[in-house]
Amino acid sequence: MLSIFDGLRDLSTWNVIIRLIAAALLGTLIGLERSAKNRTAGFRTHILVCLGGAIAAVTGLYIYMVMELPADVSRISGQVITGLGFIGAGAIIVTKKMSIKGLTTAAGLWATGIVGLAIGSGFYEGGILGTALILLTQTVMAKFGSKMIKHDPQYKLEVRYEQKHALDQVLRDCKDNRLAIVNLHIQNKTGPEDPDYEAVIELRGNMRADQLIAHIKTMEGILDAYVV
């Protein structure tokens, strides 16, 4: 441990004030990065989460060290970590295209709360280093990951078919060609006069759409297939 923080580890009034201010500042640093990217949880949310974690940690220490009551200090921190999961869930959004957004923000909120617990417990080294690594992950690693990790192309196909088993054959063929089925919407016949069924399949994989369409059109029971 760094000796410069040794004088701040006891539970005096001034040290409690320093811990809470430090937690608020570290929460601000993480939150400003999220606010700059117009994420659902901004710097005020991160300040409150980090500050709340610090208050919980200090309270646990106060009950045990000052009031000398039989208390499990780690239990309070454990309950805070569990509660942070519910807060993070509010930042996760499922879009109309069935894609998930907000996972990074939710994870950042959870990590920010734990930074607050570290600062509140007097573990300044862990809180400061944790903040630096969180910011590094949300900024530098975001750009690095987008350049290094190549995602498979994604596209939508609309398939018209006469018999229900024809769609099963199409889906089976997609899986055989290592295409991930992201979403599937089926429009059944509305009446006996309707000649066909329609299905919109959202796929992700390396196989080109025109190659897949050409292959699907050769299947029995398929009327048409095209990109939408």
Do the Cβ atoms of 1 and 124 come closer than 8 Å?
Answer: no
Q: If you average pLDDT over each of 3-7, 41-45, 188-192, 198-202, which comes out highest? A: 198-202
Question: In the CATH scheme, what is the code of domain 154-227?
Answer: 3.30.70.260
The predicted-structure confidence for 135-161, as pLDDT tens digits, reads as follows 988 888 767 665 666 667 888 889 988
Q: What is the pTM of this model?
A: 0.64
The predicted-structure confidence for 101-116, as pLDDT tens digits, reads as follows 778 888 888 899 999 9
Do the Cβ atoms of 179 and 215 come closer than 8 Å?
Answer: no
pLDDT at 23: 93
The predicted-structure confidence for 182-200, as pLDDT tens digits, reads as follows 888 887 765 556 667 888 8
pLDDT at 26: 92
The predicted-structure confidence for 159-175, as pLDDT tens digits, reads as follows 988 887 888 888 888 88
Q: Where are the domains of the chain?
A: 3-148, 154-227
Q: What is the mean pLDDT of the chain?
A: 83
Please report, as a single letter, which amino acid is at residue 116. Answer: G
pLDDT at 184: 86
pLDDT at 115: 94
- The residue among 206, 226, 103, 96 whose CA lies nearest residue 159 is 226
